[in-house]
Amino acid sequence: MTDCLFCRIVAGEIPADVVLRTDEVVAFRDISPQAPVHVLVIPTEHHENIGALAGSAPGLTATVLATAAQVAQQEGLGDQFRLVFNTGTEAGQSVFHVHGHVLGGRDFTWPPG
Ligand code: AMP
């Protein structure tokens, strides 16, 4: 059994609130949402971070990005959303299976408008 949390979500060993799933990607709601919409998009294949994914699987990287935009549409955000890939511990990455945070439904401008 893998000790990667998100591989275990892909395998269905840990429950998740899945909003979109294909053979290549899974999108599920973040357990600790930082915005009204907060969905994580991951490739089903394990890659540690966005740099590793882009370097070894550019086609899958494009699929992850397109899926993030599709999730935003599906969640009613249209083209108004933030997409974040925390990369490395210093940037706040805590799960080392690449994931894009799709965030939306509140004002992210600074200072808030
Ligand atoms: P990061 O800090 O960028 O690595 O993001 C990891 C994210 O995974 C955090 O926003 C967590 O809230 C989220 N998370 C951790 N465990 C789960 C889980 N079981 N289901 C959904 N989201 C999770």
Nearest ligand 1 atom to the CA of 14 is 19
Predicted confidence band of residue 1 (pLDDT cuts 50, 70, 90):
low
Q: Which pLDDT belongs to residue 23?
A: 98
What are the CA-CA distances from residue 1 to residues 4, 13, 107 (Å)?
9, 10, 41
Q: Which pLDDT band, with edges at 50, 70 and 90, does 27 fall under?
A: very high
Superfamily of domain 5-95: HIT-like (3.30.428.10)
Distance (Å, whole) CA 96 – CA 44: 13
Residues found in the chain? 113
pTM value surpassing 0.95 = yes
Can you give the residue ranges of every domain in the chain?
5-95
Is the beta carbon of 16 within 6 A of some atom in ligand 1?
yes
11-20: pLDDT as tens digits: 999 999 999 9
Atom number in ligand 1 closest to CA 15: 19
Element (H, E) at 82: strand 82-84
- pLDDT of 71 reads 98
Nearest-angstrom CA–CA distance, 91 and 59: 25
Residue nearest ligand 1's atom 3 by CA:
93
- Predicted local distance difference test score (pLDDT) of residue 112: 80
